[in-house]
């Protein structure tokens, strides 16, 4: 749980305009919050990152997405999804489900490719 002080600081983050987030230097008490604040900015407002932070975010994403555990979990989840679509959906729904899964696989492939460039 976060302290009341940290909760107040988080409210400041939420109330701050995206262009002003980079200038915030908040004294979070919980050590996790500084990293959470960085990831919040990176995910939601990537255009506000400077070059150093863009590189840091890219490296974080590469590390997370290319981890063996991540890839193995994605492949296992996709296998389960294909099985469910093929076994439990009627013909019309099956075609739609297969199209969605194909798009998801294409997106994952593109994401991995873009991070490895």
What pLDDT sits at residue 117?
Answer: 72
What pLDDT sits at residue 115?
Answer: 82
How many Å apart are CA 14 and CA 8, to the nearest integer?
10
How many Å apart are CA 77 and CA 81, to the nearest integer?
6
pLDDT tens by residue, 29-86: 999 999 999 999 999 999 999 999 999 999 999 999 888 899 899 999 999 999 999 9
For 15, 20, 47, 59, 104, the CA distances from 81, given in Å and listed in that order, are 39, 42, 34, 29, 11
CA neighbor of 10 nearest in space, from 26, 44, 42: 26
In this prediction, residues 9-17 reach a mean pLDDT of: 96
The residues spanned by each domain of the chain are 4-63, 67-116
The two three-digit tokens of residue 107, written as one number: 């997106």
What pLDDT sits at residue 100?
Answer: 97
How many Å apart are CA 57 and CA 50, to the nearest integer?
10
pLDDT tens by residue, 92-115: 999 999 999 999 999 999 988 888
What pLDDT sits at residue 67?
Answer: 87
How many Å apart are CA 69 and CA 13, to the nearest integer?
32
CA neighbor of 79 nearest in space, from 105, 55, 103, 57: 105
**Given CA atoms 13, 16, 18, 19 in this order, what sign does their dihedral have?**
negative
Q: What is the CATH architecture of 4-63?
A: Up-down Bundle (1.20)
What pLDDT sits at residue 113?
Answer: 87
């Amino acid at each position: 749980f976060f302290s009341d002080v940290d909760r107040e600081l988080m409210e400041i983050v939420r109330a701050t305009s995206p262009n002003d987030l980079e200038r915030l230097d908040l004294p979070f008490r919980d050590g996790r919050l500084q990293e959470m604040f960085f990831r919040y900015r990176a995910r939601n407002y990537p255009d506000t990152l400077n070059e150093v932070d863009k590189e840091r975010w890219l490296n974080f994403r590469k590390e997370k997405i290319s981890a063996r555990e991540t890839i193995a979990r994605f492949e296992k989840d996709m296998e389960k999804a294909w099985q469910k679509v093929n076994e439990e959906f009627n013909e019309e729904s099956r075609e739609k489900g297969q199209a969605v899964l194909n798009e998801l696989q294409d997106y994952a492939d593109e994401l991995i490719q873009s991070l490895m460039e």
